[in-house]
Structure 1
Amino acid sequence: MKIDLDKAKQEENLETMTFAMQKTLPLPRLSTNMIYYKRQLWLYNCGIYAGKLRESTFNIWIEGEAGRGAQEVGSRLRTYFLTNLLKSIEHVILWSDSCGGQNRNIKMVLIIKCVLEELKQLKSTRLRFLVSGHSFLQNDIDFGDVECVIKKQNKIFSPKDYMDIMNTCRKKRAITVLKMEKGGFLSTNKLEKKIVNRKKTANNEKIKEHQTSKKLNFF
């Protein structure tokens, strides 16, 4: 991963990005013990880090507006591609952990293929996954900076309170924070009906997890 991040700084037409979901954040967050016996809302945060410009972006939404699966993560990546990707970029490398529910599945593949069709400047996109047990991403540094500040807060009542903390948690390389709306997420249901997602090999053997590649390439 470090090699790919370094390449992005050197090669004009290459961007390397990492993405991850932060652990859920409670609403409200209070210091009293009574809160542990109450039903709380959860705030979700999908972090995206762009290696070329060393920029971090947080995309937050509330439980009930959307889930925290592959469609939501893929939707945030698609929006980032369409709005933030430099015009000179022709190749993108995406790094994440190997979580099957969020990153390594057919839904993510379909969304990335849609992005390739929408952005004619892109010639290739590569999805790469860290090996389990060695899944430390740049996003984890960003999440750590935020959580250090959160621990010092006695009361957090709203998404805006979290956004203010995220915006000001560090002086250098400030994090861009975006509040997502319910209509800002894609569904891959129609796309999935148009393809055959094979679960078995040509020899009628079940495809096992360890048989799948750690890299997925799209051209």
Structure 2
Amino acid sequence: MILYYSRKIAVYNFTIYESGTHKGFCHIWSEIDGHRGANEIATCVFNYIRSLDQRGDIKKIIFYCDSAYGQNKNKTVLAMLRYALHTSANLESIQINYLIPGHTYMPVDSMHATIETSIKKTIIWAPSQWPTIIEYARKNPESYHVNVLNGVDFLGFENIVEHTFKKNQKLQISKIATATIKKKQYR
């Protein structure tokens, strides 16, 4: 009983960095609410794409990410991108670029370094402290935008994957370096 309550709880932080605006977006949840799998990552990216679409002035999105197969380089994320584009009002294309494993230093990595630096002399007593700590880890040009997710917030993309890819379709996802999805305009 004592060992159970003394164990540290894992808190996950999925980050998105906008190169054009220099804004940082952090999506956090604990191991109680979700894992670090494809559905969790796809949910975070889907919600971000929806927020971009709602701005109304963005037509094209280009993502750069690592090649983590279990998280972002898989059928779930690719199917979600297609679905997000299909259901958007303003977007015309989404491109995802997978960087070469081992060579993935990106601006988003500086967000993680900034957060790590800010907690060096901080004792974190409860998972509820993380949103505030992460938000205020950076002050310039502005604080990070933090979205706390609970278990009910995660979407299941299984049906979308089934409708996007044929049941026994063989894809060599490990060889994909770039995927571009364009919205077809029917007139």
Same fold (TM over 0.5): yes
Q: Deviations over 1:56-112 (max 9, x none)?
A: 011111102111111111111111121244311111111100111111110001111
1:60 equivalent to 2:23? Answer: no
1:107 equivalent to 2:81? Answer: no
CA distance in 2, matches of 1:109, 1:208: 10
| Equivalent in the alignment of 2:169 | 198
Tell me the amino acid that sits aligned with residue 125 of structure 1. I
| Equivalent in the alignment of 1:75 | 43
More relative contact order, 1 or 2 (CA 8 Å, 6+ apart): 2
| Equivalent in the alignment of 2:132 | 164
CA distance in 2, matches of 1:44, 1:71: 14
Q: Deviations over 1:141-161 (max 9, x none)?
A: 0110111121211x2122331
Q: CA RMSD in A?
A: 2.1
CA distance in 2, matches of 1:92, 1:170: 25
1:49 equivalent to 2:12? Answer: no
Asked if the contact 2:34/2:151 (under 8 Å) is kept, the reply is: yes
| Equivalent in the alignment of 2:63 | 94
Structure 1: runs of 5+ lacking an equivalent: 1-34, 201-206
| Equivalent in the alignment of 2:158 | 189
Tell me the amino acid that sits aligned with residue 34 of structure 2. A
Structure 2: runs of 5+ lacking an equivalent: 183-187
Q: Percent identity?
A: 25
Aligned residue pair count: 176
1:134 equivalent to 2:103? Answer: yes
Tell me the amino acid that sits aligned with residue 81 of structure 2. I
Asked if the contact 2:85/2:92 (under 8 Å) is kept, the reply is: yes
Tell me the amino acid that sits aligned with residue 68 of structure 1. R
What is the CA distance between 1:38 and its match in structure 2?
4.4
TM-score in terms of structure 1 length: 0.74
More strand by share: 1
What is the CA distance between 1:208 and its match in structure 2?
8.1
| Equivalent in the alignment of 2:179 | 216
CA distance in 1, matches of 2:87, 2:173: 32
CA distance in 2, matches of 1:192, 1:149: 39
What is the CA distance between 1:39 and its match in structure 2?
2.7
1:180 equivalent to 2:149? Answer: yes
What is the CA distance between 1:184 and its match in structure 2?
1.2
CA distance in 1, matches of 2:138, 2:43: 27
CA distance in 2, matches of 1:176, 1:82: 15
